[in-house]
Chains A and B, each alone.
Chain A
Amino acid sequence: MAENKPITKNIDWIVVLIYIACLGIGWVNIYAAVYNPEVQTSMFDSSNNAGKQLMWIGTAAILIVCILVIDYKFYETFSFIIYAVVILLLIMVLFAGSNINGSRSWIKIGAFSLQPAEFSKLAVSLAISKYLSDPAISLTRKLKDYYPIMGIIALPAFLILLSNETGSMLVFASFAIVLYREGMPGFIPAIGMVMAALLIITLLFVKWYIAAAIIVIAGLVIWLMPVMTRRRGGLWATIIVAFVMIGIVFGVDFFMNNVLQKHQRGRIMVLLDPDSDPRGIGWNVIQSKIAIGSGGFTGKGFLQGTQTKFDFVPEQSTDFIFCTVGEEHGFAGTAVVVILFISLISRLVILAERQRSRFARVYGYCVAGIIFFHFMINIGMTIGLMPVIGIPLPFFSYGGSSLWSFSILLFVFLKIDAQRPFTLSRG
């Protein structure tokens, strides 16, 4: 049934162009981040991160060609096998991994290191898509259909946690977006957000005040409630919800002090008040905000950044690459990046929605969700809206594993999307 039209005709060029733009801007900014006015090296010199990134970009291009050449059915057919391979790699890395920055999550191949955790996103996306492609599965009605999904996510999450890569593990939260789209009741993400809000409020205010405020609000809700709703159990429901919320408030306190590790607690506290530990955990946030804030509207100019240049901002070419954009290109530059990401993600949602197969749609949402989650956490942390969680900014941050994994993730979807006219609808 497949008419072999050249892939260049059907591929979604909007996404490809945004992808290329992101890589280009990212590469230029990596060069700016590692630029040393005293020892100037070229952008193409593989001794610096920019030169290396160029190599990664080149190899990513080769990968992309491979992806586009391979038959689109391969990904659906082999999704569980890919999942299994990645799980094996994750187990392997626990025993044979090299220790970089305190986490045993790297496999060394010659001079280069690969991080299997990065590829777990692809594997889990494919596995979930494959699982949900069964039309009999319904997330709206049957609770037991959730169990395999939880299993698919929990297994790599657990392995990643063992290798001390909390940041990568948190990315799995992005699958909530897919599940929501596929029928998960809306109250589940709503509860998640209320929990997060309560967590922050608990850290900011005195517990008893919050409890009192919840009781007052509950009272108001009951009072304003139509009489019929109240009689039909609305009264008790509200009271129970209020008590659960108060329980959470006190639970959070316990959770913060007894469950979270000290550095994790610190990261959350710093989000609320970076000045609480200006030299320690707060340092990253303060320096990154200064770097971005000092950019002004138009920025200091290419290679003119000073905060990022003189080592004030840590991890400048990787997790904090956005600071370089902010400092050297100002609000104009950061706005372009934010708009590029929102455009890319929105475009992916639109593409996902036009898929005929459920597998393709779910996978598309997985890609959009993962990229969005990285975008939200990474940029959010550089501007002090999110806790410091070390995950890269897709296509921008320096690093082969992340560039490869995001490229594969994206282009597998583009390949599937390009074959859309020839796919039969199954869901």
Chain B
Amino acid sequence: MLENRRFVIIIFFALVGLIYLLRLFYLQVLDESYSIESSSNSIKRVIEIPFRGQIYDRTGKLIVYNTPVYDLLVTPYKARVDDTLRFCQVLGIERRDFDSLMAAASAYSRMKPSLFLRQLSKEDFASIQDIMVDYSGFEFAKSSLRTYTAPTLANTLGYVSEITRSQLEKQEEPYYRQSDYIGQSGIEKIYENELRGKRGTKFVMQNVNGVYKGPWKSGELDTMAVAGENLYTGIDLEVQQYADSLMVNKVGSVVAIEPKTGRIISIVSAPTYDPNILASRYFSKNFAALVRNPYKPLFNRPVMASYRPGSTFKLIQALIGLQEGVITPGSGFTHANCPMNCHNHPATGSVALGVMHSCNPYFYNVFRRLIYKNNIQNTFKASAVGLDNWHDRISKFGIGQRLGIDLPSEYKGNLPNKKYYDRFYGEYRWKFSNIYSLSIGEGELLITPLKMANVAAIIANRGYFYTPHVIHGIGDKKTVNPDFLVRHETGVDAHNFEPVIEGMIGAVEGGTARRSKVEGITIAGKTGTSQNKKGDDSSIFIAFAPVDDPKIAIAVFVEYAGAGGSAAAPIANLVIEKYLTRKITNKALEERMLKADFMSKVILPGQKKPVPVDTTKKKPVPVKTNILNKPVAVNP
């Protein structure tokens, strides 16, 4: 009897053995959670973040590069800080910050290192490196910081910052991880995929205390980090900074385009800020200050701000009129029978003169003919047909369309068509008399400075344009986005441009913009005065030069600065001269424009009249990365 118990015993032994074998098979072969990549803590997967691509100007000067910086990481369970006071002093933080940083790190993980202080400069790192040896649980990680050679182009370049929670969740491929950097606006955002490069992965061995013990498998599985692609812009840094200086104490934009290519030479959004302040460890404080600033320095005016084109729109009206054949270069109109006022000027017996003197009744009549086409049997129907035909013509100039510039949030603008007015008035319940303010660029028309610069480029090219773009070369091979090589025709014949250009030359030589003419350069330009609901008008000027071989087409918008000739035209012509000759002949004009201050006239959204300005006169103070410096806010 009892002998049979040996079988029970052997079966019991074998059963335990079998259970262990199954368990081992599960742990070692089936269960992936213990595989090297996911769980092994002796082999650490180190992600190497490559340098972002650098950005160059048209002459090969660096605009954006990277500075190596050091992030300070803390592993809470290892951290030992005996004299908090000295520690805080060394790092230039306050006791409060120390406590909250430690709490945040502990909340994330007590075992894993988390970020304690970001972006210490090389100098700071050198000065505290030795002292930090006294405190266990802290380590440095190398990273890099965007650095800008000049305090300009802030909105165009955009900024790079830590990826947000919603961005993390929205990404289609799981590329970014928490605390990764990503381009948030401007070029940095649009060209994120090109700029970010390719991350490298290194497998390194470490012991239980996290001490580096060499590469794993001699680096067989490692991949190298590949730096991001460099970007080549058409920006002329010297001209850009000159335009910046002219736009100090003004709200508005300057956009200059090379007409033959569509490359942007200069793009100013005023007021601006030094992009370096958003590439520092004080990002959040500085960013908050920029957001609070009532003049919205983060608003990229050249592509996002909407204005009425004012008289600059008359150029397009004249071009369409000539192309449609409703006028000839010699057509003349008087002020009679026109509901619009005009200023005193000689009779406008030709298109050129109409443009030169910016005669309102002249373009009232041109537009009337464009709409009615001499067919006034049924004015309602004629208006409807005429407007849509006109709309199609104008659209070709990029009005009411997105041009497709390589900057985010481009504003589409507004170009009304039949449908648009039908919604207000009902079908065939409106006619020319309801919409005639369009003839001089007022009414429901909305454009951006970029669009008007593009119109200047179209006229300079006598009929076509290339999509304005900031980046014309990506990487060493300088690859071009093929969209930027497509020549867009406007459907207006080259010969129809001549009378208009003649009028534009007249405007600069002896017309509305005569006070800002430049000796030795023939500039063709057109002023515009865009009405604001409250306060002064905004000053607009579009131009190109030289007339025979245009190298630059420009649009300048200065908000609340009055007539086009008073602020926009001088600034535009100074920029043109600077670009073409690299020197300024009319020093008095330059001096006047540098000093001009229109901030006091600006009416902020939600206000009825201009408020006295003081704070925005101070330019944002770039933060020196000296560690002992307190964060510097833009508007104290």
Which A residues contact B (CB, under 8 angstroms)? 37-38, 140, 177, 180-183, 186, 278-279, 287, 289-290, 292-297, 306-307, 309-312, 326, 330-331, 334-335, 338-339, 341-342, 345-346, 349, 353, 365, 368, 372, 376, 379-380, 383, 385
CB distance from B218 to the nearest CB of A (A): 11
* Set of chain B residues within 8 Å of A186, measured between Cβ atoms: 8
16 pairs of residues in contact across A and B, judged by CB atoms under 8 Å? A37-B213, A181-B5, A186-B8, A295-B28, A306-B216, A309-B207, A310-B208, A326-B27, A335-B24, A338-B17, A346-B13, A346-B14, A349-B6, A349-B10, A353-B3, A383-B27
Complexed CA–CA distance, A342 and B208 (Å):
34
Closest CB pairs A-B (n = 3): A293-B34, A310-B207, A342-B17
Whether B34 lies near A290 (C-beta < 8 A) is yes
Interface of A is mostly: helix
Which chain B residues in 24-59 approach chain A with CB under 8 Å? 24-25, 27-29, 31, 33-36, 39-43
Whether A296 lies near B13 (C-beta < 8 A) is no
Which chain B residues in 167-225 approach chain A with CB under 8 Å? 205-209, 213-214, 216
Q: Which of B13, B33, B207, B214 has the most CB of A within 10 A?
A: B13
* Set of chain B residues within 8 Å of A181, measured between Cβ atoms: 2, 5-6, 9
Q: Kindly state whether residue B486 has any CB partner on chain A within 8 Å.
A: no
Whether B10 lies near A346 (C-beta < 8 A) is yes
Complexed CA–CA distance, A339 and B42 (Å):
29
* Set of chain A residues within 8 Å of B110, measured between Cβ atoms: 279
Whether B13 lies near A345 (C-beta < 8 A) is yes
Which of B5, B27, B214 is the one whose CB lies under 8 Å from A292? B27
* Set of chain B residues within 8 Å of A368, measured between Cβ atoms: 13
B13: nearest residue on chain A (CB-CB)? A345
Q: Which of B36, B77, B111 has the most CB of A within 10 A?
A: B36
Whether B24 lies near A326 (C-beta < 8 A) is yes
Which of A289, A306, A341, A383 is the one whose CB lies under 8 Å from B17? A341
Q: Kindly state whether residue B604 has any CB partner on chain A within 8 Å.
A: no
Which of A37, A38, A383 is the one whose CB lies under 8 Å from B24? A383
Q: Kindly state whether residue B425 has any CB partner on chain A within 8 Å.
A: no
* Set of chain B residues within 8 Å of A365, measured between Cβ atoms: 9
* Set of chain A residues within 8 Å of B43, measured between Cβ atoms: 306
Whether B39 lies near A293 (C-beta < 8 A) is yes
Whether A177 lies near B9 (C-beta < 8 A) is yes
Whether B24 lies near A331 (C-beta < 8 A) is yes
A341: nearest residue on chain B (CB-CB)? B17
Q: Kindly state whether residue B342 has any CB partner on chain A within 8 Å.
A: no
CB distance from A195 to the nearest CB of B (A): 17
Whether B2 lies near A183 (C-beta < 8 A) is yes
Whether B20 lies near A379 (C-beta < 8 A) is yes
CB distance from B598 to the nearest CB of A (A): 64
Q: Kindly state whether residue B429 has any CB partner on chain A within 8 Å.
A: no
Which of B2, B40, B111 is the one whose CB lies under 8 Å from A306? B40
Given contacts A294-B35, A297-B29, A338-B21, 15 further A-B contacts (CB under 8 A): A37-B213, A186-B8, A292-B28, A293-B28, A293-B31, A294-B39, A294-B40, A296-B35, A307-B40, A309-B42, A311-B208, A326-B24, A342-B14, A346-B14, A365-B9
Q: Which of B24, B25, B34, B208 has the most CB of A within 10 A?
A: B24
* Set of chain A residues within 8 Å of B5, measured between Cβ atoms: 180-181
Given A297-B29, A307-B41, A338-B24, the answer on whether A292 and B34 have CB atoms closer than 8 Å is yes
Whether B77 lies near A279 (C-beta < 8 A) is yes
* Set of chain B residues within 8 Å of A379, measured between Cβ atoms: 20
Which of A177, A292, A335 is the one whose CB lies under 8 Å from B21? A335
Given A330-B28, A335-B24, the answer on whether A180 and B39 have CB atoms closer than 8 Å is no
Whether A326 lies near B10 (C-beta < 8 A) is no
Whether A279 lies near B111 (C-beta < 8 A) is yes
Whether B206 lies near A326 (C-beta < 8 A) is no
Q: Kindly state whether residue B16 has any CB partner on chain A within 8 Å.
A: yes
Whether A307 lies near B42 (C-beta < 8 A) is yes
Complexed CA–CA distance, A385 and B16 (Å):
11
Whether B35 lies near A289 (C-beta < 8 A) is no
CB distance from A289 to the nearest CB of B (A): 6
Q: Kindly state whether residue B336 has any CB partner on chain A within 8 Å.
A: no
CB distance from A354 to the nearest CB of B (A): 11
Complexed CA–CA distance, A237 and B19 (Å):
33
Complexed CA–CA distance, A326 and B209 (Å):
22
Given A294-B35, A346-B10, the answer on whether A334 and B28 have CB atoms closer than 8 Å is yes
Q: Which of A177, A290, A297 has the most CB of B within 10 A?
A: A290
Given A307-B41, A311-B208, A331-B29, the answer on whether A385 and B6 have CB atoms closer than 8 Å is no
CB distance from A355 to the nearest CB of B (A): 12
* Set of chain B residues within 8 Å of A278, measured between Cβ atoms: 111
* Set of chain A residues within 8 Å of B214, measured between Cβ atoms: 37
Whether A306 lies near B35 (C-beta < 8 A) is no
Q: Kindly state whether residue B583 has any CB partner on chain A within 8 Å.
A: no
Complexed CA–CA distance, A341 and B13 (Å):
10
CB distance from A413 to the nearest CB of B (A): 16
B34: nearest residue on chain A (CB-CB)? A293
Whether B28 lies near A297 (C-beta < 8 A) is yes
CB distance from B193 to the nearest CB of A (A): 35
* Set of chain B residues within 8 Å of A310, measured between Cβ atoms: 42, 205-208, 213
Given A183-B2, A294-B40, the answer on whether A289 and B27 have CB atoms closer than 8 Å is yes
Whether A311 lies near B207 (C-beta < 8 A) is yes
Whether A290 lies near B39 (C-beta < 8 A) is yes
A371: nearest residue on chain B (CB-CB)? B13
Whether B17 lies near A182 (C-beta < 8 A) is no
A293: nearest residue on chain B (CB-CB)? B34
CB distance from A139 to the nearest CB of B (A): 9
CB distance from A132 to the nearest CB of B (A): 12
Whether B42 lies near A306 (C-beta < 8 A) is yes
Per-position binary interface string of chain B over residues 420-448, scored 1 when its CB falls under 8 Å from any chain A CB and 0 otherwise: 00000000000000000000000000000
B6: nearest residue on chain A (CB-CB)? A353
Which of A183, A289, A383 is the one whose CB lies under 8 Å from B20? A383
* Set of chain A residues within 8 Å of B25, measured between Cβ atoms: 331, 335
Complexed CA–CA distance, A289 and B38 (Å):
13
Whether B23 lies near A383 (C-beta < 8 A) is yes
Complexed CA–CA distance, A345 and B9 (Å):
10
Complexed CA–CA distance, A383 and B28 (Å):
10
Complexed CA–CA distance, A137 and B131 (Å):
77
* Set of chain B residues within 8 Å of A309, measured between Cβ atoms: 42, 205, 207
Given A294-B40, A331-B25, the answer on whether A385 and B19 have CB atoms closer than 8 Å is yes
CB distance from B325 to the nearest CB of A (A): 82
CB distance from A339 to the nearest CB of B (A): 7
* Set of chain B residues within 8 Å of A330, measured between Cβ atoms: 28
Complexed CA–CA distance, A341 and B41 (Å):
30
Whether B42 lies near A293 (C-beta < 8 A) is no
